[in-house]
Amino acid sequence: MIGAHLILYSRNGCCLCEGLEQRLLKLPLQKLSPPVELKVVDIDSADTAESVRIRYDLIVPVMAVYLNEENKKIDLPRVSPRLKEESLFIWLQKAINKSLGLE
């Protein structure tokens, strides 16, 4: 059961955004605790709220964890573009734990 969503705020044409999305798609996100499902939000999309675009306009890519049961969203710290595969997975688990107060 997916307990949370990992939201990637990004923008089409942003090489950092697209690179991070590709690396996240390769990770077994369901093995994180809590298990997460990736949701990519293009901040320039007509479907995206103006407040979201304004908040993340100059800082994408940004990841956040949305906790389904608590209806709560927590922005994660910026991730190094150098982290790949297992290192990114470990970083993500630590960032989620810290943001949830589990560390």
Q: Using one digit for the tens of pLDDT, what is the confidence trace for 31-77? A: 999 899 999 999 999 999 999 999 999 999 999 999 877 778 899 99
Our measurement of the distance from residue 98's CA atom to the centroid of its chain's CA atoms, rounded to an integer in Å, reads 14
Instruction: Provide the pLDDT confidence category of residue 101 given band limits of 50, 70 and 90.
Output: confident
Tell me the three state secondary structure of residue 65: strand
Report pLDDT for 18: 96
Report pLDDT for 38: 97
CATH number of domain containing 61: 3.40.30.10
Report pLDDT for 69: 72
Question: Rounded distance, CA 3 to CA 66, Å?
Answer: 9
**CA-closest candidate to residue 63, choices 32, 93, 40, 90:** 40
**CA-closest candidate to residue 63, choices 50, 45, 49, 81:** 81
Instruction: Provide the pLDDT confidence category of residue 3 given band limits of 50, 70 and 90.
Output: confident
Give the count of domains, the chain: 1
For 11, 42, 56, the CA distances from 92, given in Å and listed in that order, are: 21, 21, 20
Report pLDDT for 2: 58
Domain range enclosing 49: 4-99
